A and B are shown apart, each in its own frame.
Chain A
Amino acid sequence: MNEDDLIERIRADDPRAFKDLFDSNVSLVYNVCLRMLGNRQDAEDVTQEVFFEAYKSLKRFRFESKLSTWLYRIAVNRSLNHQRKRKLERWLSFDFDSLDRSDKDSDAPGMPENGPDGAMEKKDTERIVRAAINSLPDQQRLALLLHRYEGLSYEEIAKVMGVTVASVESRLHRAKQALAKKLLPLKKEL
């Protein structure tokens, strides 16, 4: 669906427009949340939050950026908030074991089913890379996820994160340097 048409319909208060906005962007928002949170249930809850917030503030949206960029931005902020809240809840309930469990038991995309050795090795590889990415600082991790898995350009990432393009470049640069250091010793585990 053409985004310009959708924007026109939203402006004209077409009741079907929000459903179309949801249908064309739900997969994108859900997968970003899933990559950030590593858990399907949390990702669905946050996806619902994102669209609810979008519904409430759609009238205030000035259509200066793409709708998808705006939704990415809400998704990223909500996911970070959700993650902080979860960590706090686990600390409060003394659930220290699960504080870093998301790295291991993640539902994030790209997990093949158990099967032949090749699939198992691929699963291990993905687990290792994902755990290394999850151990990066939030801002570096976010820039890397949006660039590597969502295929966003530096400009789009800058808009989503509310920073300059130079800052995105620097975060990606530092993220990849840190990952190289983390991944090389881990390769020996395989």
Chain B
Amino acid sequence: MIHEEIQKQLLLYLDGELPDEEMRQIREHLSACAVCAQRRDELASLWQSERRSEKVKPSPFLWTRLQARIKESAQTPAFVSDLRRSMQRIPLRPFPALALIAAIVVGIYIGTPREPQRNASSQVVSQSVGSVDELGLDQFDVIPPGALGSTLVKISKTQK
């Protein structure tokens, strides 16, 4: 087995939780490999010093609080006491979240194109175009024949 694979198994080896054959292979490797043996010692010092420690005693008032809760639940309907408790658990700092939600809503509002207004303006444009068509104002030559402009154009062309 390569070193990395051996080191991965070291906690299981230290706790004797590997099959016999694997335990033997690791033991042999550790007796021959100084690096892995050092790793085993390091890990053992961490793992075994942080062993089962003393239990912590809970607050002596825990029973009193529990009794009060049991009494309260007997006097009030279950959904009322559940609702009251869940209200108490609402985070104390909801303002940043509300501010973010408000900013998103405003951003969406501002960023959304105003469909009704755009339709109205396009209607005005189309109406004005229609009125131009009716009068025939869109059907004219750039320089009407016989105009002074057309004579000037002709002169400039002959000069070229």
Q: Which residues of A does B touch, CB under 8 Å? A: 19, 22-23, 26-27, 30-31, 34, 40, 43-44, 47-48, 51-52, 55-56, 85, 89-90, 92-95, 107, 109-110, 122, 125-126, 128-130, 148-149, 151, 172-173, 176-177, 179-181, 183-184, 186-187
Contacts and interface: CB of A to CB of B under 8 A. Distances in A.
A124 B63 CA distance: 34
A92 to B, nearest CB: 5
Interface residues of B, number: 38
A27 B62 contact: no
Contacts of A34: 56
A126 B50 contact: yes
B96 interface: yes
A94 B93 contact: yes
Most A-side CB within 10 Å, residue of B53, B89, B94: B53
Interface in B62-102: 62-63, 65-66, 69-70, 73, 89, 91-94, 96-97
B43 interface: yes
B145 to A, nearest CB: 76
Given A48-B62, A89-B91, A27 B57 contact: yes
B118 interface: no
Contact of A27 (B17, B55, B63, B73): B55
Nearest to A93: B93
A181 B3 CA distance: 12
Contacts of B92: 93
Interface string B1-35: 00000011111100101000000000000000000
B154 interface: no
A22 B63 contact: yes
B69 A93 contact: no
A44 B93 contact: no
Contacts of A173: 12, 17
Interface in B26-64: 39, 42-43, 45-47, 49-50, 52-59, 62-63
A73 B152 CA distance: 102
Contact of A187 (B11, B43, B55): B43
Given A19-B63, A30-B58, A85-B89, A48 B69 contact: yes
